[in-house]
């Protein structure tokens, strides 16, 4: 890898680290934000939901914008937006100001993430070089989330506003490096490729409504949720009709005939849902039942961040030896094992009894997350890499929303009171959600396994043989 290529990867890893650390730090700071701004618990939930809506709702549009208007241009512009609105979040004096800032920050991240990913997938040749770059990239993303949990606790102890100001400083450094190191790319030739406004409006509206319905599922009447989902499905149907008849569709529907891409997105959705659902349940167990502080909880779960080290070191060797599909399958099986190890949870479990589950989950993440990123962009034409990245990140984000909502719903339904035993019943029931999601992802992944000689040598397999 040349020095310039390393510089490009450094910038993009910095950006994805920024996104991970931003979300993780805010998780820890929420109680302090509620107390200082006088927000209700119901409104506080929207501090996270506003970001998820912006991120998940605009990701697909962000990916297509990178293909149409230039990856470097989109990356740098939306990094500036991210920087400005993160700072505005830190200056918020009213709850609504913070919610607006978080929504726009999420939108900025939705344009940055697929643009950054598509820079990697077009800058590095498909094969071992790109695989290594993507695994370093994914390991950095996971590291941002793990480290952010601890840093968020430390910064919140000083002042919760530093949870927003710290990303501003990091964004500024990344912005300077991006202007210097990211290569200028030729302006995409858009002749005969008009912007598909009808497709953009319908699919963005459909995704926003679907994420909104999932986010609010545990807080509103079931009929309201069903109605919102129904409207979302109508918009998806309209989007499909628009794309079939468009001369320059936002998303070419033929992409979904790529079996590897579809499997990767479905597995990513379930894997992400399981991971975030599990983290939600464990956090509740440690803080509500055991009385641990947010910082203690952060340190307890940081072992999951082992994938920060393993993703760029061990995983590339395993992919070269066994093939991407088998490594993904192995990671998903390990995730299922990690969740199963927590099922015998008791009121007085020591950290030593929880540790194997958290450690195995970190290993599972290192084997699944990065290789799923490879699988979701492999075999896709260069001019559609932004869309492929947008699809993949939408799957990860939507999966997280579903996993959190499903785990919360099961926990609420299974908790009959506030005694330790009754709370534990709710947690144990909710732990079946991530287990079911991981098993489903493993099953989907297994359907793409092929016992081919090129899998054994690590050579690229045909698209149909990829997960």
pLDDT in tens, 149-184: 788 878 888 888 999 999 999 999 999 999 998 887
Residues 6+ apart with CB under 8 A from 55: 106, 107, 109, 110, 113, 397
Pull the structure tokens for residue 175.
């912005």
- Residue 299, judged by CB atoms within 10 A of its CB (0-12, 13-18, 19+), counts as middle
Are the CB atoms for 311 and 374 separated by under 8 Å? no
At 458, is the pLDDT very low, low, confident or very high (cuts 50, 70, 90)?
Answer: very low
pLDDT given at position 450? 63
Q: Are 281 and 431 in contact (CB under 8 A)?
A: yes
- What does the pLDDT average to over 134-139? 87
Lowest-confidence range among 223-232, 422-431, 446-455?
446-455
Handedness of CA 280, 283, 287, 290 (dihedral sign): positive
pLDDT computed for residue 301 by the predictor: 84
pLDDT on residue 313: 87
Give the pLDDT of residue 189.
62
In percent, the amount of the chain with pLDDT more than 70 equals 93
Q: Please state, in angstroms and rounded to a whole number, the distance separating the CA atoms of residues 279 and 410.
A: 15
Tally of CB atoms within 10 A around 337: 17
pLDDT score, position 188 = 61
Q: What sign has the CA pseudo-torsion 140, 146, 147, 148?
A: positive
| Burial status of residue 348 (CB atoms within 10 A of its CB: 0-12, 13-18, 19 or more) | exposed
Q: Which residue carries 């109508």 as its tokens?
A: 234
Q: How confident is the model at residue 457 (pLDDT cuts 50, 70, 90)?
A: very low
Q: What is the pLDDT of residues 290-336, one digit of tens each?
A: 988 877 888 888 888 888 888 888 998 999 899 899 999 999 999 99
Give the closest residue to 304 by CA, choosing from 283, 330, 288, 320.
283
Count of alpha carbons within 13 angstroms of residue 69, beta-carbon side: 18
256-301 confidence digits (pLDDT tens): 888 889 999 999 999 999 998 898 889 889 888 898 887 788 888 8
The set of residues, in sequence order, having a beta carbon less than 8 Å from that of 388 and lying 6+ positions away, is 63, 118, 121, 255, 261, 376, 377, 380
Q: Report which of 325, 346, 272, 284 is spatially closest to residue 454, judged by C-alpha positions.
A: 325
Per-residue confidence band for 69, with pLDDT thresholds at 50, 70 and 90: confident
Whether the Cβ atoms of residue 327 and residue 371 lie closer than 8 Å to each other? yes
Instruction: Give the model's pLDDT for residue 344.
Output: 94
Residue with tokens 């609420």: 412
Provide φ and ψ at 165, rounded to 5°. Answer: -75, -35
Candidates 259, 252, 255, 193; CA nearest to 380 is 255
Report the predicted TM-score, pTM, of the whole model to 2 decimal places.
0.83
Positive/negative CA dihedral, 334, 340, 344, 347: positive
291, exposed or middle or buried, with CB in 10 Å at 0-12, 13-18, 19+? exposed
Task: Yes or no: say if 168 and 309 are a contact pair by the CB < 8 Å rule.
Answer: no
The values of phi and psi at residue 134, to 5°, are: -65, -35
Among the ranges given (137-151, 319-333, 433-447, 449-463), the one the predictor scored with the smallest mean pLDDT:
449-463
Rounded distance, CA 458 to CA 454, Å? 6
User: How far is it, in rounded angstroms, from Cα 291 to Cα 406?
Assistant: 24
Asked which of 23-27, 111-115, 427-431 is least confident by mean pLDDT, the reply is 23-27
C-alpha span between 179 and 197 (Å, rounded): 30
Closest to 397 in 3D by CA, of 58, 25, 12, 21:
58
pLDDT for position 228: 92
Cα angle vertex 102, ends 80, 77, to 5°?
15
Highest mean pLDDT among 74-83, 189-198, 312-321: 74-83
Q: What is the sign of the dihedral through the CA atoms of 122, 128, 129 and 133?
A: positive
Alpha-carbon distance values, 110 to 78, 306, 325, 326 (Å): 9, 26, 27, 30
**Among the ranges given (228-242, 320-334, 400-414, 441-455), the one the predictor scored with the smallest mean pLDDT:** 441-455
pLDDT surpassing 50 at residue 37: yes
Q: Is the pLDDT of residue 451 over 70?
A: no
Average pLDDT, the chain: 85
């Amino acid at each position: 890898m040349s020095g310039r290529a390393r510089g490009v990867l450094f910038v993009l890893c910095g950006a994805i680290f920024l996104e991970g650390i931003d979300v993780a730090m805010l998780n820890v700071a929420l109680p302090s934000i509620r107390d200082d701004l006088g927000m209700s618990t119901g409104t506080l939930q929207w501090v996270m939901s506003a970001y998820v809506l912006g991120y998940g709702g605009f990701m697909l549009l962000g990916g297509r914008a990178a293909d149409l208007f230039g990856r470097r241009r989109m990356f740098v512009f939306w990094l500036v937006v991210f920087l400005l609105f993160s700072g505005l979040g830190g200056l918020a004096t009213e709850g609504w100001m913070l919610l607006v800032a978080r929504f726009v920050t999420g939108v900025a991240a939705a344009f940055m993430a697929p643009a950054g990913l598509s820079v990697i997938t077009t800058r590095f040749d498909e094969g071992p070089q790109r695989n290594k770059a993507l695994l370093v990239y994914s390991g950095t993303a996971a590291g941002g989330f793990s480290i952010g949990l601890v840093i968020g606790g430390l910064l919140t102890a000083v002042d919760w506003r530093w949870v927003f100001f710290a990303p501003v400083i990091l964004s500024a450094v990344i912005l300077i490096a991006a202007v210097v190191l990211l290569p200028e790319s030729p302006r995409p030739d858009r002749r005969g490729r008009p912007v598909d406004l009808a497709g953009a409006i319908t699919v963005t509206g459909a995704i926003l409504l679907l994420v909104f319905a999932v986010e609010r599922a545990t807080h509103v009447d079931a009929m309201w949720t069903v109605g919102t989902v129904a409207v979302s499905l109508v918009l998806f149907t309209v989007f499909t009709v628009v794309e079939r008849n468009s001369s320059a569709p936002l998303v070419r529907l033929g992409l979904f005939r790529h079996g590897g891409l579809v499997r990767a997105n479905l597995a990513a959705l379930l894997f992400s849902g399981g991971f975030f659902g599990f983290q939600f349940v464990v956090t509740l167990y440690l803080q509500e039942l055991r009385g641990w502080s947010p910082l203690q909880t952060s340190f307890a779960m940081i072992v999951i961040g082992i994938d920060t080290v393993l993703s760029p070191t061990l995983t590339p060797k395993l992919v070269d030896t066994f093939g991407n599909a088998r490594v993904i399958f192995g990671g998903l099986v390990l995730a299922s094992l990690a969740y199963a190890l927590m099922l015998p949870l008791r009121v007085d479990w020591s950290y030593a009894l929880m540790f194997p589950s958290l450690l195995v989950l970190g290993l599972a993440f290192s084997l699944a997350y990065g290789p799923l990123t490879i699988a979701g962009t492999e075999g896709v034409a260069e001019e559609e890499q932004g869309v492929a990245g947008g699809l993949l990140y939408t799957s990860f984000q939507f999966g997280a929303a579903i996993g959190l909502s499903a785990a919360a719903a099961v926990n609420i339904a299974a908790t009959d009171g506030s005694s330790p035993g009754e709370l534990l019943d709710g947690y144990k029931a909710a732990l079946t959600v991530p287990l079911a999601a991981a098993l489903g992802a493993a099953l989907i992944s297994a359907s793409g396994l092929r016992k081919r000689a090129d899998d054994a040598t690590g050579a690229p397999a045909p698209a149909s043989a990829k997960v």
